[in-house]
Amino acid sequence: MAQAGQPDPAAAIEMAKQEMDYRVNLFNAMVSSCYEKCIDKRYKDGELSVGENSCIDRCSSKYWQVTGIVGQMLGAQGGMQ
């Protein structure tokens, strides 16, 4: 049982699970998006080429930047309400 001013442990665990699900889904969406964009569908080699490697690096960097910007905008919007 939570005391006054302290969060309920069960609620905190549930929130942590939801946050983890959100982050896993976000990561999987990034992997899928960057894979479609960057990886040659005709597997010629067991390793990524230099071009594929740099494309994935740029793609994932941009993905996280955009995710951060959208999160900030949503947070600011939520604070106005």
The ranges assigned to domains in the chain are: 30-36+49-80
Between CA 49 and CA 42 the distance in angstroms is 12
Q: Write out the two tokens for 81.
A: 């309400």
Average pLDDT per 10 consecutive residues for the chain, totaling 81 residues: 69 92 94 93 86 96 94 82 62
pLDDT score at 9: 86
- Indicate whether this model's pTM tops 0.95: no
Q: Write out the two tokens for 14.
A: 């549930």
pLDDT score at 5: 66
The length of the chain, given as a count of residues: 81
pLDDT score at 3: 60
For 34, counting Cβ atoms within 10 Å of its Cβ (0-12 exposed, 13-18 middle, 19+ buried), the class is buried
pLDDT score at 51: 93
